[in-house]
Amino acid sequence: MQLFKLALEALMCDDVNEKLSLTSQLNSYDVCLESISDKFSIKKIKKPGRPLKPKLVSFQTAPKRDRSDLGMVKTIHSICHIEFNAINLALDAVYRFQNMPTKYYQDWIKVAYEESYHFKLLNDYLELLGFAYGDFDAHNGLWEMATKTDYDVLARMALVPRVLEARGLDVTPSIQAKFKDSKFSKMVDILDVIYCDEIGHVKIGNHWFHYLCKDKNLDPILTFDTLIKKHIGSNLRGPFNVEARLLSDFSQAELNYLDHPVYNEAK
């Protein structure tokens, strides 16, 4: 099956287990110049493949998560939902942007597969606890960013891995601390796996963002600043996990920009 067609099939699949299977199949695909030369029709996708549940609500009305047992389960479910959306985001990055180098597709297929593994780890743990993905409402913020950036691979690379996934690196240590001394301490190990892989995902995003900036002769920090203002409208919130972001190939100049988001100061 043609690469982009298979990526779209996995992206639009509503059945969770079949989506995981198709993503695994895509991970075994031999990506070569010939496989990416056969283009496939590209369309705007407002609703990617997902099960009927969870019900999607606004961020403001999403389930509140306290430190009660149920609150902790809701936190696990929320992370599980993030990982499910991350599968779709990576699949869309493969399907949508069909004029990139071969390595780009290899990278984002790898990301999709690892996100599917993260989802399965979390979903299996929810089931062990007597719950399942879809038991609680969830918000749709991640996919909303996908639709905002579907016009340009540069915007996608700037704002999904470098903002949304990098935010996960910022908050994971505090989430792990929350679980450490609870009856849900298994989450610490699960989050260790996710955290290590997500460093790699952000690094991939950084690589392709800088590749595209260089190709278009654009200043990376100015370009990032412009896209933040256009699509987010406010400065990114800290605190930032400097160690993880450095491992993900954020430059020191970029970290300086995050702490002092005025472009002239960053130059």
Q: For residue 117, is pLDDT > 70? A: yes
Q: For residue 259, is pLDDT > 80? A: yes
Please give the pLDDT value at position 59.
63
Determine the Cα–Cα distance for residues 199 and 10; give it in Å rounded to an integer: 24
Q: b vs e for 84-119, b when ≥16 Cβ sit within 10 Å of the residue's Cβ?
A: bbbbbbbbbbbbbbbebeeebbbbbbbbbbbbbbbb
Please give the pLDDT value at position 234.
82
Question: In sequence order, which residues have a C-beta less than 8 Å from that of residue 10 and are 6 or more positions away?
Answer: 19, 22, 23, 25, 26, 49, 91, 112
Residue 60's pLDDT band, with cuts at 50, 70 and 90, is low
Mean pLDDT across the chain, nearest whole number? Answer: 92
Q: For residue 231, is pLDDT > 80? A: yes
Alpha-carbon distances, residue 137 vs 13, 74, 214 (angstroms) = 20, 9, 41
Are 111 and 165 spatial neighbours (Cβ–Cβ below 8 Å)? no
What's the mean pLDDT in 173-185?
95
Q: For residue 182, is pLDDT > 80? A: yes
CATH architecture of the domain formed by 3-36+56-266:
Up-down Bundle (1.20)
Domain boundaries, given as residue ranges, for the chain: 3-36+56-266
